[in-house]
Structure 1
Amino acid sequence: MKRFQPQPGFVVQAFRFALDPNAAQERALRSHCGAARAAYNWAVGWVTASWWQRKAEATYGVIEADLTEWRPWSLPALRKAFNEVKHTDPRFASWWEANSKEAYNTGLANAAAAFDNYAKSQQGKRRGKRVAAPRFKSKRKARLSCRFTTGTIRVEPDGRHVTLPRLGTIRVHEPMGKLLARVQAGAARILSATARHERGRWFVSLQTETARDLVRVARPDAAVGIDLGVKILAVMADSTGEIRTILNPGPLDGALKLLRRASRTVSRRRGPDHRTGRKASKRWEKANTHRNRVHHRVANLRQDALHKLTTAVAAEYGTVVVEDLNVAGMLRNPRLARQIADAGFGEIRRQLAYRTRRNGCRVMAADRWFPSSKTCSGCGVVKAKLPLHVRTYECAACGLVIDRDDNAARNLAALAAACTTGTGVAGDQDTAKVSKPRGADRKTRATRHDRKVTAGRAGGATLPHQRQTETRDRTQAEALTLW
């Protein structure tokens, strides 16, 4: 085996494989994941205990200088405190030696990250929904996961087994020939391994530092706009005017009948009752396993469809433009929440982000308020209103009649084409996206009203690349975000 020599072209990449552990190995895996959960709960309780103590002392009239000191939540501080109490704490003293130290380090690292996210969210330094304080993880609901960063982590020479610390050699469900060849040739080095239980089986994810050459796309000068939908998963229009339609497989809709039947069977069995301590019957466990198998198949079918779509897009086009959809807000619609969740809009954007980086392409997100559906792709006139049930776009100015989704995809492709041809925001393509504090983009009521009136005026707006004024570059900079 050649010695690993990192080069400038090396990247961090994960290889995920399914495991086939025996009964003893599965018990050990569950023990390690349980140890990670126990360490996480200990860290949360240890840190928050000082919070409650300070709050109680303040009610007694204790001055600020005399209050109990804050306990730190950094990973080194949690490690030091845990190593001091694990020998004497009755929650760990009798069994902590049965698992690898990496199991406890996983829980402590997760707790440190949770407290950091909470602090940044409270200070307005973290985007997205406000994060609550870390809470204890339930034994019944916590995800089974454990990460190994030290010790013996290797792929066996036969390519069908992987060795993990304290767990030994575990058989892999699928061959690991590609990763093994890279490791033996000195083109890859394993950094860490994460064992996780998902969808009814165990997986191992090997994080490696490996050589990865830049794969050129088939059409580097072509741009494509992608309009996502429910019945039709994606409508893609490239810069040449060609339109492709990808139907939504709808794995959940196809399995609803089976799920209803399986759920009725489970409800008729004697299930567990955690309040009284009653255990589930064998027939309930068998029925619940069958129902879970249906859920796992739905998730696998959805994942397969999304991976195939994003792989095909990232391998063909040099520039991809998608909409900045408010998926969280769309899921609040009780009529469409299930279909939107089944389509996986957020997962498509996430996969496009990392896949295009591998091929040297660009992914741009159109502004959330860009009227891609209301704008005529022929003349650029913007309709005042276009209800969702109207699936055909009819332009009163030029007489264009086109499908609503096709029209939106063409408008997105026009934005991408304007940037790739040099008439757009060429100077902003290398600018990193800056994370803004909470509330930085919040508009007043008057601003929102003016924006709706301006965008809804017929003939009052055209596509950026169709304008012949000096404001063209500025408009495109506002409509597109490189990410």
Structure 2
Amino acid sequence: MKRAYKYRFYPSPDQAELLTQTFGCVRFVYNSVLQWRSDAFKNHQEKIGYADASAYLTSLKKSPDLVWLNDVSCVPLQQSLRHQQTAFKNFFQGNSSYPSFKSKRHKQSAEFTASAFKYVDGKLYIAKSKIPLNIHWSRSLPSTPSTVTISKDAVGRYFVSCFCEFEPASLPITASTVGIDVGLKDLFVTDSGFKSGNPRYTAKYAARLGLLQRRLSKKMNGSKNRSKARLKVARIYAKIADCRMDALHKATRKLINENQVVCVESLKVKNMIRNRTLSKAIADASWGEFVRQLTYKAEWAGRSMVAIDQFFPSSKLCSCCGFTMKKMPLNVRMWKCPECGAEHDRDINAARNIKAAGLAVLAHGESVNPKPLIAA
């Protein structure tokens, strides 16, 4: 299997200047080719493929006004066209929106293939740089990377992602199984009654974020004070994202380590997030990322993931007798079955039904790992 190993690194002044120039060239090439392809289709209904885009890049590099494109490695420029081609493919297949222009205010990235970097004795060198990157190696790489992606976030932190082949180690088989119901009050609830709680990082930092955003709105465009204020806002967003990702990784790793079979509910997050009242809370809960992590970690560990149909009435179905309620508003958290008289906690009951349905799917030999589990 292949996976990416991400590390933070600290570039030297010369490397930082080289990377800034590389990011700028990648962004310029991507935006220029995107504008050219869009104009060709708008004016002449002509669809431009990757081969024509690559030829257009060659003409750009030969232009007297754009000779600075040759000062950086040609590999990231070529890779940006491949990414753009993938973006158009996803657009025409209906999987994403039309490709958008890249901004220098957001995350910057450049991808290097094997011809543009060198990995020797645990040190990583990139093209046009004679000294290795000062990487904080939190773990060793299992093999020589096939591609390396260098990125810089809005806060100014540098990261390198190494795409390597590795041999996953299956965990010991256990008899434990779990059904999981995701929610807002608790990020997830299991059939055993465990409730994870919801840290709500967006709400936690909302007051500080609002203050910094108001200060940012009063700064003059293009001023140094505005750049400083924008950086403070970006740091809050980075803090929220880092805290959320850390909590999700810890929760999913614990669930995979302890259970042989994990049953979850398929949800259409894109549709649910249209609810203006709950959209921010749903986005903060990151259900799509939660299930995505469970999926690939289960595959690596030799576990089974079962996705239940999104229309399965897990909350309205009595886990004791099978009676289905006609309606179950969101404000009803505890309910009593009119058929057998059993009292249910809404979320725990749903988790039990999800587990029962998941084990039934697994027993019948149907596909237990449909993709996507959650449309994020």
Q: TM-score, normalised by structure 1?
A: 0.72
- State which of 38, 42, 53 in structure 2 corresponds to 1:48: 38
**CA-to-aligned-CA distance 1:307-329 (integer Å, 9 cap, x gap):** 11111112222221111112112
Larger radius of gyration: 1
- State which of 244, 264, 272 in structure 1 corresponds to 2:214: 264
- Find the residue that maps to 2:194 and give its secondary structure: strand
8 Å CA contact 1:393, 1:401 repeated in 2 = yes
- Find the residue that maps to 1:243 and give its secondary structure: coil
- State which of 160, 163, 171 in structure 2 corresponds to 1:204: 160
- State which of 227, 238, 243 in structure 2 corresponds to 1:301: 243
The answer on 1:400 being equivalent to 2:355 is no
CA distance in structure 2 between the partners assigned to 1:386 and 1:176 by the alignment: 48
Shift of 1:341: 0.9
8 Å CA contact 2:106, 2:153 repeated in 1 = no
- Please provide the CA RMSD for this pair: 2.5
CA distance in structure 1 between the partners assigned to 2:43 and 2:128 by the alignment: 39
The answer on 1:83 being equivalent to 2:58 is yes
Equivalenced residue count is 373
Give 1:65-76 correspondences, 5 Å limit: 70=46, 72-74=48-50, 76=51
Distance 1:177 1:297, change over 3 A: closer
Distance 1:192 1:337, change over 3 A: same
Q: Show the counterpart of 1:65.
A: none
The answer on 1:190 being equivalent to 2:145 is yes
Shift of 1:165: 1.6
- State which of 405, 413, 416 in structure 1 corresponds to 2:355: 413
The answer on 1:174 being equivalent to 2:136 is yes
Distance 1:286 1:119, change over 3 A: closer
Give 1:85-104 correspondences, 5 Å limit: 85-88=60-63, 90=65, 92=66, 94-104=67-77
- State which of 244, 248, 254 in structure 2 corresponds to 1:312: 254
- Find the residue that maps to 1:113 and give its secondary structure: helix
- Find the residue that maps to 1:286 and give its secondary structure: helix
- Find the residue that maps to 1:235 and give its secondary structure: strand
- Find the residue that maps to 1:194 and give its secondary structure: strand
CA distance in structure 2 between the partners assigned to 1:310 and 1:338 by the alignment: 22
- Find the residue that maps to 1:315 and give its secondary structure: helix
CA distance in structure 1 between the partners assigned to 2:339 and 2:74 by the alignment: 70
8 Å CA contact 1:376, 1:407 repeated in 2 = yes
What amino acid does structure 1 have at the position aligned with 2:208? L
CA distance in structure 2 between the partners assigned to 1:15 and 1:233 by the alignment: 27
Shift of 1:259: 1.2
Q: Show the counterpart of 2:114.
A: 150
Q: Mind listing any 5+ residue stretches in structure 2 that lack a counterpart?
A: none
Q: Show the counterpart of 1:244.
A: 194
Distance 1:266 1:81, change over 3 A: closer
CA distance in structure 2 between the partners assigned to 1:344 and 1:250 by the alignment: 11
Shift of 1:138: 4.4
Q: Show the counterpart of 1:469.
A: none
Q: Show the counterpart of 1:214.
A: 169
Shift of 1:408: 0.3
Give 1:372-391 correspondences, 5 Å limit: 372-391=314-333
The answer on 1:112 being equivalent to 2:85 is yes
Q: Show the counterpart of 1:453.
A: none
Identity among equivalent pairs (%): 28
What amino acid does structure 2 have at the position aligned with 1:207? F
Q: Show the counterpart of 1:17.
A: 7
Distance 1:89 1:222, change over 3 A: farther
What amino acid does structure 2 have at the position aligned with 1:354? Y
Distance 1:154 1:311, change over 3 A: farther
- Find the residue that maps to 1:382 and give its secondary structure: coil
What amino acid does structure 1 have at the position aligned with 2:184? V
CA distance in structure 2 between the partners assigned to 1:357 and 1:46 by the alignment: 42
CA distance in structure 2 between the partners assigned to 1:13 and 1:285 by the alignment: 36
Q: Show the counterpart of 2:269.
A: 327
8 Å CA contact 1:190, 1:208 repeated in 2 = yes
Shift of 1:198: 2.3
CA distance in structure 2 between the partners assigned to 1:248 and 1:96 by the alignment: 48
8 Å CA contact 1:321, 1:363 repeated in 2 = yes
8 Å CA contact 2:4, 2:163 repeated in 1 = yes
- Find the residue that maps to 1:204 and give its secondary structure: strand
Shift of 1:209: 1.8
Shift of 1:143: 3.3
Q: Mind listing any 5+ residue stretches in structure 1 that lack a counterpart?
A: 1-10, 56-69, 122-127, 183-187, 273-278, 436-479
CA distance in structure 1 between the partners assigned to 2:304 and 2:154 by the alignment: 33
Distance 1:371 1:52, change over 3 A: closer
8 Å CA contact 1:234, 1:245 repeated in 2 = yes
**CA-to-aligned-CA distance 1:50-89 (integer Å, 9 cap, x gap):** 324425xxxxxxxxxxxxxx45412x44223322442126
CA distance in structure 1 between the partners assigned to 2:308 and 2:265 by the alignment: 5
8 Å CA contact 2:306, 2:361 repeated in 1 = no
The answer on 1:225 being equivalent to 2:189 is no
Shift of 1:141: 4.6
Q: TM-score, normalised by structure 2?
A: 0.91
CA distance in structure 1 between the partners assigned to 2:266 and 2:8 by the alignment: 34
The answer on 1:39 being equivalent to 2:48 is no
8 Å CA contact 1:217, 1:314 repeated in 2 = no
- Find the residue that maps to 1:32 and give its secondary structure: helix
